[in-house]
A and B are shown apart, each in its own frame.
Chain A
């Protein structure tokens, strides 16, 4: 048996460098990077994003693809089932449903996103100020919000629409009047929780002003819940738009919106169900996509809550 070549150096203890062993090998991850990694694993949410991107693309370019116009009546070709000429068919006035669907998408998405965005802005300011200052200011601001939110949301929106008249902007305003409360409550809760954190105290003792503390430290740290609420507010706004248009209080003629189209198709449901199918399908698809993304975001941003 061959003797292994062992020298006395082989029996020396290995050098242990404490500084070396404390070194972090993995790449450091920020909160958002970590969330993104978790979000990427959620196939359902990724599908939701893909659907939304496609819908957005079609909302911008879709109406031009077919070469038809959303408002031209063609009374010689009414109620045509989907065909090579009219991909989604035509409605009772001979308007091309394909073109109307995508113009409707533009309007529905615009209303949904704008209303949600305004909700967020008002909600953040109201909630942050209320939560940050606390005490009497908080008491009054939240009491005001409580009284407003005691009213049924849709009832208020309907009443405002009756007074302000139909229109895209009046609808957005009507939705925002009470829509921001939910957001304000969430932001307030978060801010109250964070306000006593040490980094806020540190910043304050360095002489930071209230507005700097609020918008530099507190609000950015509540961005997670805000983002989740935003994605769940949009489908709500799209639903409200469709609901109002369905009641004849929403988007005025001849602009199409999915709610208007659903409402128009209802009369012909028995004979031309495809007229209902397309707008209804896309309302559901959009709401589904937003809901799925919202759920995915919540799981990704707040893994403790994940079940």
Chain B
């Protein structure tokens, strides 16, 4: 177990190293300078600026500096917002995103599992078809369209929610719903097919023939085993919610990390882009590791010590 975790962490570090290197060189190659604006700077001033940000050191020195600093989560100052460190921006905006993200994951998991189980129990009947039609629709409607539809109906027409504000729990409901739509539909389909598999397996028949009630068979024996594919979907789910937050936060005007990332792209604020990318990658790689570990605990049939690990 310990060996497996060490191996995984080594791979994560390798991936992170590649990400940091790739972002560094990509940003070097990117067109446009952070100091390019309408007001032309005098050459002397520009030189001073570049000096201050260390931009005229040789490239390998900049690279090594960046690597060393990135290890300590120090991504340097923002190019656009004077006096703000990238890490300050990340720490300031991330709490909004994590609240939103967790809420979306909760909605997607809860409702998705519910729909899936419902459809499986009503297999090939009206309820099944309805749930699956809704699921296909959910997969086909992109999150940003869902967001605008929700905004139009509930905020503009019905005036139940605010259009764009982030002050109370009430304000997070619409964005979290929009963020959860696609994964919800996906989980519902996953849950349905795995529940159908499980319900036709031998141990369920045994449990039934022992005279157990339908409810216990379904929830105690069926659900627990049918949840496994859903747990393995958690990794992609986290990734989807992370990237989904870029547009959702923009549409609902939430000052989270996603909208900071999008703003930094429009601003060509390279240090913020790089910092956010690395931060996102760390987050994602660690949550995938956690999901894999949980999977090994929940399903003892999977020996994570085995070669190749888990998959």
Contacts and interface: CB of A to CB of B under 8 A. Distances in A.
Nearest to B119: A307
A302 to B, nearest CB: 13
Contact of B144 (A165, A235, A246): A246
A280 B156 CA distance: 18
A152 B284 contact: yes
Interface in A138-184: 146-147, 150-155, 158-160, 162-163, 165
A248 interface: yes
A247 B142 contact: no
Given A307-B123, A307-B196, A280 B26 contact: no
Contact of A158 (B140, B265, B268, B285): B265
B232 interface: no
B243 A273 contact: no
B41 interface: no
B18 interface: yes
Interface in B21-71: 22-23, 26-27, 29-31
Interface string B131-156: 00000110111101100110110001
Contacts of B277: 155, 159
Interface in A188-238: 235
A235 B246 CA distance: 20
B214 to A, nearest CB: 20
B227 interface: no
A283 B142 contact: yes
A88 interface: no
Most B CB atoms within 10 A — which of A158, A235, A246, A307?
A: A307
A109 to B, nearest CB: 15
A253 interface: no
A152 B242 contact: yes
B218 to A, nearest CB: 17
B145 A280 contact: yes
B142 A239 contact: yes
Interface in B102-134: 123
A243 to B, nearest CB: 7
A285 to B, nearest CB: 8
Contacts of A301: none
B247 to A, nearest CB: 6
A247 B246 contact: yes
- Among A146, A160, A280, the most chain B Cβ lie within 10 Å of the Cβ of A280
Given A155-B280, A159-B277, A269 B148 contact: yes
Contact of B152 (A246, A273, A283): A273
B266 A248 contact: yes
B21 to A, nearest CB: 12
Nearest to B246: A247
Interface stretch (A53-61, A98-106, A286-294): A286-294
B15 interface: yes
B239 A152 contact: yes
Interface residues of B, number: 48
A235 B192 CA distance: 22
B30 A162 contact: yes
A147 B142 contact: no
B97 to A, nearest CB: 14
Given A147-B18, A307-B193, A153 B243 contact: yes
A124 interface: no
Contacts of B144: 242-243, 246, 262
Given A269-B151, A307-B193, A150 B145 contact: no
A19 B89 CA distance: 83
A270 interface: yes
A248 B259 CA distance: 13
A153 B242 CA distance: 11
A247 B156 contact: no
B251 interface: yes
Contact of A247 (B12, B242, B250, B273): B250
Nearest to A232: B139
Given A147-B15, A243-B142, A162 B243 contact: no
A266 B284 contact: no
B265 A247 contact: yes
Contacts of B162: none
A269 B273 contact: no
Given A262-B145, A262-B148, A266-B251, A284 B156 contact: no
Contacts of A159: 22-23, 26, 273, 277
Scoring A153, A243, A295 by chain B CB atoms within 10 A of each residue's CB, the highest score goes to A243
B225 interface: no
A153 B251 CA distance: 21
B204 interface: no
Contact of B142 (A162, A165, A287, A291): A287
Interface of B: 11-12, 14-15, 18-19, 22-23, 26-27, 29-31, 123, 136-137, 139-142, 144-145, 148-149, 151-152, 156, 192-193, 196, 239, 242-243, 246-247, 250-251, 262, 265-266, 268, 273, 277, 280-281, 284-285, 288
22 contacts: A147-B15, A151-B15, A151-B284, A152-B280, A154-B246, A155-B242, A155-B243, A159-B22, A159-B26, A160-B26, A162-B26, A162-B30, A163-B26, A163-B29, A163-B31, A243-B144, A247-B262, A269-B152, A283-B145, A284-B142, A287-B141, A307-B196
Given A150-B15, A162-B273, A287-B142, 13 more contacts: A147-B11, A150-B12, A151-B281, A152-B243, A158-B246, A159-B26, A159-B273, A159-B277, A160-B26, A239-B142, A243-B142, A288-B137, A292-B136
